[in-house]
Amino acid sequence: MRKYGGILAYLLLFACLLLSGCTTADTGRFNQQEQGTADDSRKIASSGEVKLSVYMYVTDVRVQNVYYDIARSFEAKHPEIKVELQFPGFQYEEILKVKLATNELPDIFDTHGWAKIRYGKYLVDLSNEPWASQLTNTIKPVVTDDEGKVYVLPISEARDGFSYNINVLEKYHIQVPVTFDELMAAAEKIVKESHGEVVPFFFSGIDSWTIGQYFDYYASSLFEKSDVFKKYPLTASDSEWSQWNVLAVKWKEMFDKGYINQDVFKAKYSDLPKLFAEGKVAFSFASPSFADDAYEVNPKTRIGIMPVPSLSVGGRTAFSSGERNTMGIWKKSKHLNEAKLLVNEFAKPANMKKIADVVKIPPGLTGVTPEHEFVSFYNLYDQVLVTPYFDRIYLPNGMWDVMRSLGIELIAGDVAPEKFGKLMKQEVARLSK
């Protein structure tokens, strides 16, 4: 089993923070993109009486540029305030852990899914801000508590299901699957009739969050009719861990039957847009945030979105939801008023729309009217069940990484599917201490 974290990693990150601020991502195309935007952040912070430090977990340069545009517009209105935007990329979570340990958080930061559980005690209550009454019904319970505290501005609300290749499904005369069995039948048809030239599902072992999505999506469906949802978080003493083996068996079968790209161990998420554009992939277990990259390869690419098919006949299709991008204010910030001004600037409908049209998922506030190409799909499925990310509600912190790692080990043959549930239980016990 892979071990996570480590003292050395934190020391290296701390040194990185002291020396440079760690403003670039780890590797790949994001490194080049974020290096370019680091210069922009220095320009923003070049003068002014008040400097607001803003950390955001945004890796797409298109989205970053929208944030910069909004920040510059804000500075023009408030020349006494300068905004230091930073996008640490995939180092984001580790950097914030170091900042938590040193009690030196940014004035404003993205809570990347953990507004209440991990960062709640560090955040200012935003319930009196003008946009607070506009929280959507699905995001409100995620970012508020029973006392009415609003922890963050939810800029983007995750609405995760599958992205599917319309051209591929039409070519092979496949209807959008509603059940898991229909999904597997579609996969078999695609593999057989394309003679293996088209892969039904794309996953990346390097960007293994794509693998974690499978287990997180289907955990909700697996326990749809179970008493598990009455217990949170789950503990090692719960008696239903063996049911997780169902997901492991299906996952291994998908790989063995050629439904998953066989280069999964070395594949990168950045490979997906080109494969989609070339009609070589049918489904992605993710939102369509890669769409613009696919259009650049092939303008005739057509992408649809759909809820997660149910594991059982008669079950419900569903979207997984939660925070995607947020803005919370550190309660010890020396510039609380200025920070609220900036957050309120981002909350304006016109600015929320600008971001939504690039990230292509719903905003977390009502009264915003995006115009991107997936709006019609979200409207089509507006009555579909929306469930919270399973791991954020029912599993201890760290289990997301466990699911990603075990998923890789399953298809590598290092873990037997029938032992998956036992290993999940062991890791829950370890992480719950």
- Among positive and negative, which fits the CA dihedral 158, 159, 161, 164? negative
Tell me if 117 sits within 8 A of 395, measured CB to CB: no
What region, left, alpha or beta, does residue 366 occupy, with left being phi > 0 and alpha being psi -120 to 50 degrees? beta
- Would you call 399 exposed, middle or buried from its count of C-beta atoms within 10 A (0-12, 13-18, 19+)? buried
Count the Cβ atoms, other than its own, within 10 Å of residue 146.
Answer: 6
Predicted confidence pLDDT, tens digits, the chain (433 residues): 443 344 334 444 444 444 344 433 332 222 223 333 333 333 444 445 899 999 999 999 999 999 999 999 999 999 999 999 999 988 898 999 999 999 899 999 999 999 998 999 999 999 999 999 999 999 999 999 999 999 999 999 999 999 999 999 999 999 999 999 999 999 999 999 999 999 999 999 999 999 999 999 999 888 766 665 556 667 777 667 888 999 999 999 999 999 999 999 999 999 999 999 999 999 999 899 999 999 999 999 999 999 999 998 778 899 999 999 999 999 999 999 999 999 999 999 999 999 999 999 999 999 999 999 999 999 999 999 998 899 988 888 889 999 999 999 999 999 999 999 999 999 999 998 8
pLDDT at res. 276? 97
Q: Within 13 Å, how many C-alpha atoms sit on residue 347's CB side?
A: 22
Q: Which residue has the tokens 């995620």?
A: 142
Range list of H helices, 78-154: 92-102, 140-143
DSSP character string of 98-114: HHHHHT---SEE--TT-
**Sequence-separated (6 or more) residues with CB below 8 Å from residue 135:** 143, 144, 150, 154, 364, 365, 366
Range list of H helices, 264-386: 272-277, 291-297, 336-346, 349-359, 375-380
**What length is written for the chain?**
433
CA distance 138 to 213: 20
| Paired sense of beta strands 385-388 and 318-329, if any | parallel
Tell me if 115 sits within 8 A of 123, measured CB to CB: yes
Domain 160-320+389-431 belongs to what architecture? Answer: 3-Layer(aba) Sandwich (3.40)
Letter for the amino acid at 207? D
Tell me if 91 sits within 8 A of 13, measured CB to CB: yes
Q: What is the SS3 assignment for 286?
A: coil
**Sequence-separated (6 or more) residues with CB below 8 Å from residue 18:** none
Phi/psi of residue 145, nearest 5 degrees: -120, 180
CA distance 77 to 113: 31
Domain over 7-157+323-375 is classified CATH 3.40.1190.10 = no
Letter for the amino acid at 360? K
State the Cα angle at 288 between 286 and 289, rounded to 5°.
100
CA distance 328 to 339: 9
pLDDT at res. 230? 59
Tell me if 277 sits within 8 A of 294, measured CB to CB: yes
Tell me if 388 sits within 8 A of 323, measured CB to CB: no
Q: Do the domains 160-320+389-431 and 7-157+323-375 match in fold?
A: yes
- Annotated domain spans of the chain: 7-157+323-375, 160-320+389-431
Residue in 343, 346, 352 with CA at minimum distance from that of residue 372:
352
Beta-bridge partners for 385: 318
**Sequence-separated (6 or more) residues with CB below 8 Å from residue 133:** none
